[in-house]
């Protein structure tokens, strides 16, 4: 396959994307798990504390996945300019990583009593976190290559 028409911006923009992406993605998870069910209206200070917990603990997990999986892919992309690694495939990889991480962690920790279908349904929101993280990273840290 040919080379990509995309390129990474500066290292500082890549680092910014790797930090901001999880914050936005985890804010989505906080929103659907805390705000939508109404917990935030009942006690706003607890909702803010929950958001900080989501960002700190979830952010640590996201950074571990980024260091183990995403960073090597970015180094490969920077060097080989893979044509297959673009916005849609990056979003799909992000969703897959978030989904698989939650699914596997739940199985390993023994929290899979409801069966694999229930576990898959519970893994969708972490998958969406990965998707959002990937899209935010793409918007911040990747640009179209200048035409020759």
State pLDDT tens for residues 27-38.
Answer: 999 999 999 988
What three-state secondary structure class fits 128? helix
82-141 tens-digit pLDDT = 999 999 999 999 999 999 999 999 999 988 788 889 999 999 999 999 999 999 999 999
Residue 102 counted as domain residue? yes
Residue 1 counted as domain residue? no
**Interatomic CA distance for residues 102 and 20, integer angstroms:** 21
The residues, ordered by sequence, that sit 6+ positions from 57 with a Cβ below 8 Å of its Cβ are none
Residue 2 counted as domain residue? no
**Interatomic CA distance for residues 128 and 94, integer angstroms:** 8
Structure tokens at 136: 């935010």
Residue 4 counted as domain residue? no
Q: How many domains does the chain have?
A: 1
Our CA angle for 125, 144, 72, nearest 5°, is 55
Residue 139 counted as domain residue? yes
Residue 49 counted as domain residue? yes
**Interatomic CA distance for residues 48 and 82, integer angstroms:** 41
Residue 71 counted as domain residue? yes
The residues, ordered by sequence, that sit 6+ positions from 46 with a Cβ below 8 Å of its Cβ are 39
Boundaries of domain holding 43: 9-144
pTM for the complete prediction?
0.91
12-64 tens-digit pLDDT = 999 999 999 999 999 999 999 999 988 777 888 999 999 999 999 999 999 99
């Amino acid at each position: 396959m040919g080379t990509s028409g995309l390129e990474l911006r500066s290292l500082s923009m890549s680092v910014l994307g790797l930090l901001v992406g999880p914050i936005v993605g985890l804010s989505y998870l906080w929103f659907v798990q805390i705000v939508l069910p109404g917990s935030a209206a009942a006690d706003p200070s607890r909702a803010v504390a929950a958001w900080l917990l989501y960002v700190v603990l979830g952010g640590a997990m996201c950074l571990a996945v980024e260091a183990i999986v995403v960073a090597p892919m970015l180094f490969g992309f920077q060097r080989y300019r893979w044509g297959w690694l673009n916005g849609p495939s990056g979003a799909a990889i992000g969703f897959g990583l978030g989904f698989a991480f939650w699914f596997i962690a739940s199985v390993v920790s023994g929290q899979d009593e409801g069966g694999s279908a229930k576990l898959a349904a519970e893994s969708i929101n972490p998958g969406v976190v990965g998707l959002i993280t990937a899209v935010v990273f793409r918007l911040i840290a990747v640009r179209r290559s200048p035409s020759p």
